[in-house]
Amino acid sequence: MNRPSPSRRQQLIQQWGAILWPSFIAAGVASVVFFAFVDPLRLQAISFPNSTISRELGYTAGFFMFWTVTALSSAVTWYLQRPIRSDDDELPLG
């Protein structure tokens, strides 16, 4: 109520944090559950049989793939929640 309005830095942290942080947690949970059932080496064998990868590459790529997708979703949510700018804003009243 009496708190000063957040500074530009705080706003930026809030915006980027609201996109990156929940998506990081969601990607972490998704990776744990997904890789508990799926072995990245088997996935590679059926998807890219001609290339060889290590499990670490599979896990890391999987995690960052999940994080990219969840962050993208968070970013679109953030974008849609911004107030709509109407074209009429520029027109004089009356």
Partner 1 sequence: MSTPCSTTPRPRHWRGILSAGLLALFYTLPWLRWDGHQAVLLDINARRFDLFGWTLWPGDVGVLIGLLAVLTVSLALLTHLAGRIWCGHACPQTLWRRAFDWIGRTVSRALPPALRRPATQLAWGLLSLWTGITFVGLFSPIAGLVAAAPHAVWSGWETFWVLFYAAATWGNAGFLREQVCRSLCPFARMQPLLTDPHTPRVLYDARRGEPRGPRPSGLGGVLGRGRGLLDPTTAQDYAFRAAHPLLAGPMPTFSADRLGDCTDCTACISACPMQLDIRQGPQADCLACGACLAACAQQQHRAGFGSGLLRYCSPQVMTGQPRRWWRPRTLALLSLLLALLACGAWRLL
Interface residue list for partner 1 (CB under 8 A):
1-2, 10, 13-14, 17-18, 21-22, 25, 32-33, 35-37, 39, 54-57, 59-60
Question: Closest Cα partner for 20 from 58, 60, 77?
Answer: 77
Task: Pull the structure tokens for residue 42.
Answer: 């088997």
Residue type, 55: R
Nearer CB in complex with partner 1: 57/76 = 57
Nearer CB in complex with partner 1: 51/84 = 51
Nearer CB in complex with partner 1: 3/85 = 3
Task: Pull the structure tokens for residue 70.
Answer: 């969840």
- Closest distance of CB 26 from partner 1, Å: 11
Return d(Cα 15, Cα 19) in angstroms, integer. Answer: 7
